[in-house]
């Protein structure tokens, strides 16, 4: 296991932090990236306390040249790259489409969609070489829209579509892909520091809408299904170790119940994967092109 090199983005808090620490404890060589230098220092302290080592590096995923440079350097430094968990992102803008500014939509999409897409594009040549694993975290709200969270849902829908299209193609070259779809997870997503970083909204005259942050706080507080963040690390490790991982994986029962009305016949994505394989077959490519 010590020969397996895993890159995890967004490790300065929440799920990314847990995944990185648990993977290092399981024997992976973990490259942990983030953009909050203070929290990266805290992550190093957490790793030391657990008796594990992390290769911690600064990365702003919206800086696409930096993404390519870092991933190439990881592969060069460690000799190969075997797995990527691309899960950096956030809410950034709350409200309806009427409330969120166009710049707000662009900002959220730039991070949650284009930033993760840059990681995927940069990693794929290395993952093809190692016949590795790609895990991309979206959200239950990447399948079912989130009222008063239109920009976030849009960004996650976009990422779902890109990865769902990509997965059967790269599988033909040995790369197994899973889209991870959490529901509410007990991270610091509702912390005051997150609220303070929300982008300003447009003024809606005689607005009929509730205050979006208060709305989201109430929703998360009343779900009754907030998942402990400690549960996520072992789930990701299990997915990384599976011979034939599912296309889709919801991390908790609440998330499965939430998306079931749309995906009840295909929760793990195997049917849509088979449909995509048949689509590829229409071009006469009935067998994997390589390995």
Question: By C-alpha distance, which of 14, 11, 26 is closest to 119?
Answer: 11
Catalytic residue among 28, 152, 173, 279: 152
Give the other-Cβ count within 10 Å of 42's Cβ: 14
Phi, psi (deg, nearest 5) at residue 132: -95, -160
Going by C-beta distance under 8 Å and a sequence separation of 6 or more, which residues neighbour residue 88?
Answer: 9, 10, 16, 33, 34, 61, 111, 115, 116, 119
Q: Based on the residue annotation, tell me whether 28 is a catalytic residue of this protein.
A: no
Q: Which residues are catalytic?
A: 152
């Amino acid at each position: 296991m010590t020969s397996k090199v895993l890159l995890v983005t967004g490790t300065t808090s929440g799920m990314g932090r847990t995944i990185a620490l648990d993977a290092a404890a399981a024997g992976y060589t973990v490259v942990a990236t983030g953009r909050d230098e203070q929290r990266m220092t805290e992550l190093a302290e957490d790793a030391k306390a657990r008796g594990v080592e992390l290769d911690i590096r600064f990365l702003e995923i919206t800086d696409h040249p930096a993404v390519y440079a870092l991933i190439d350097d990881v592969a060069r430094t460690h000799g190969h790259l075997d797995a990527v968990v691309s899960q950096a992102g956030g809410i950034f803008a709350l409200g309806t489409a009427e409330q969120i500014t166009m710049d707000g939509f662009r900002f959220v999409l730039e991070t949650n969609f284009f930033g993760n897409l840059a990681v995927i594009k940069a990693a794929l040549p290395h993952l093809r070489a190692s016949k590795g694993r790609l895990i991309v975290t979206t959200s239950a709200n990447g399948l079912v829209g989130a009222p008063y969270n239109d920009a976030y849902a849009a960004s996650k829908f976009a990422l779902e579509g890109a990865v769902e299209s990509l997965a059967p193609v790269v599988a033909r070259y040995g790369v197994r892909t899973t889209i991870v779809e959490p529901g509410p997870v007990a991270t610091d997503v509702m912390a005051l520091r997150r609220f303070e970083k929300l982008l300003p909204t447009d003024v809606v005259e005689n607005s009929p809408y509730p205050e979006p942050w208060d709305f989201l706080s109430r929703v998360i507080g009343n779900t009754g299904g907030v998942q402990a963040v400690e549960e996520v690390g072992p789930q990701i490790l299990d997915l990384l170790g599976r011979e034939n991982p599912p296309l889709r994986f919801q991390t908790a029962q609440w998330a499965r119940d939430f998306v079931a009305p749309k995906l009840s016949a295909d929760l793990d994505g195997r049917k849509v994967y088979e449909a995509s394989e048949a689509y590829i077959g229409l071009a006469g490519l009935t067998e994997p092109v390589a390995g």
